[in-house]
Amino acid sequence: MQDTFGRPITYLRVSVTDRCDFRCFYCMSEDMTFLPREDLLSIEELDTVCSTFVERGVRKLRLTGGEPLVRRGIMELIAKLARHKDSGKLDEITLTTNGSQLAKHAHELKRLGIERINVSIDTLDPEKFAEITRRGDINQVLDGLKAAQDAGLKIKINTVALKDLNEHELTDMVGWCGENGFDQTFIETMPLGDIGGDRTTQYLPLSEVRAKLEADWSMVPSTLNTGGPSKYMDVTETGQKVGFITPLSNHFCDDCNRMRLTCTGTLYMCLGQDSSVDIRTALRADESLGKLHEAIDQALTLKPKGHEFVIEPGQGEPALMRHMSVTGG
């Protein structure tokens, strides 16, 4: 698959549910209304859609959400998708999780062929963690990390940089990741979905984070290029990588290889733009999957050259109304 700008499209991110056991304040509002279950793609439908993309050249799948590990049937889905890895059609299945259910699932994930996972942790301070997630328990997540390490999963920590909340802790977190053998990616808050408040007060530019970390650690640009929005640095003292995702600058669009499927089966070709195709209707319309292939063909014509996020002080409105938990982070 190639888009109209000649970029090969090989990476599909799939939100398997909009539900979550946390309510991180930058991601959801406290009294979030979740989608009716019948709007979601079933586990069988998710398998069909992902498998069709694999047939068409997708080499990497990332399952996300919401919280992927609270979706009923998720392990069954991963077990089904693993056949494409076994056959060599797929290089990798991975997931992004808040870690709350990892203690339960880590070993099974590894057994099913998952090698790497991303776990989102913004702070190691138990009170701040409870404040940011509005209901999470850091110890439960740390137990999950331990289980994942024991199982032999490679772990990357995702950390959203938050003004006043974790900005003074980020240097220590780099050290903690180093001690545990975790890579780490810092993320800027993105204006996605109504969160019941003004998000510009929590916006901390990664340029500031990076300048502070460069003063505290020896960091050299890494040769690693994932084709994604992260620019990586090697931390000399720890031997680990630190990445910076700056979606509000457009530097990564030129070699973007990804698409995103929402939990309701809408395919977005760019996190920062609204053009999409309705995969669910196409899938349900035609058992021979002809309409699904047509919808994918149409989607390939829609991928924009780049996105147009803006986040400015005083601009409390989200740039796009869909939440990250629906589109998949």
Binding site for ligand SF4 (CB under 6 A): 20, 22-24, 27-28, 65-67, 98, 120, 325
Residue 68 or 178: which CB sits closer to ligand SF4? Answer: 68
Q: Which of the 8 DSSP states describes residue 253?
A: G
Give strand ranges (E) for the chain.
11-15, 60-64, 92-97, 116-120, 154-160, 183-187, 219-221, 230-235, 241-245, 258-261, 266-268, 276-278
In the list 17, 51, 97, 184, the residue contacting ligand SAM (rule: CB under 6 A) is 97
Q: Minimum distance between the CB of residue 325 and ligand SF4, rounded to whole angstroms?
A: 4
DSSP string, 41-106: PPHHHHHHHHHHHHHTT--EEEEESS-GGGSTTHHHHHHHHHHHHHTTS-SEEEEEE-STTHHHHH
Binding string, 11-50, against ligand SAM, x = CB under 6 A? ---------x-----xx-----------------------
Q: Minimum distance between the CB of residue 161 and ligand SAM, rounded to whole angstroms?
A: 9
Which partner, ligand SF4, ligand SAM, none, binds residue 158 by CB below 5 to 8 Å per kind?
ligand SAM
Residue 7 or 156: which CB sits closer to ligand SAM? Answer: 156
Q: Which residues, in sequence order, are bridge partners of residue 96?
A: 118
How many other CB atoms sit within 10 Å of the CB of residue 137? Answer: 14
Alpha carbon distance 59, 78 (integer Å): 15
Q: Minimum distance between the CB of residue 222 and ligand SF4, rounded to whole angstroms?
A: 26
Which partner, ligand SF4, ligand SAM, none, binds residue 64 by CB below 5 to 8 Å per kind?
ligand SAM
The letter for the amino acid at 39 is D
- Total number of residues that touch ligand SAM (CB under 6 A): 19
Binding site for ligand SAM (CB under 6 A): 20, 26-27, 64-65, 67, 96-98, 120, 158, 160, 187, 189-190, 192, 324-325, 329
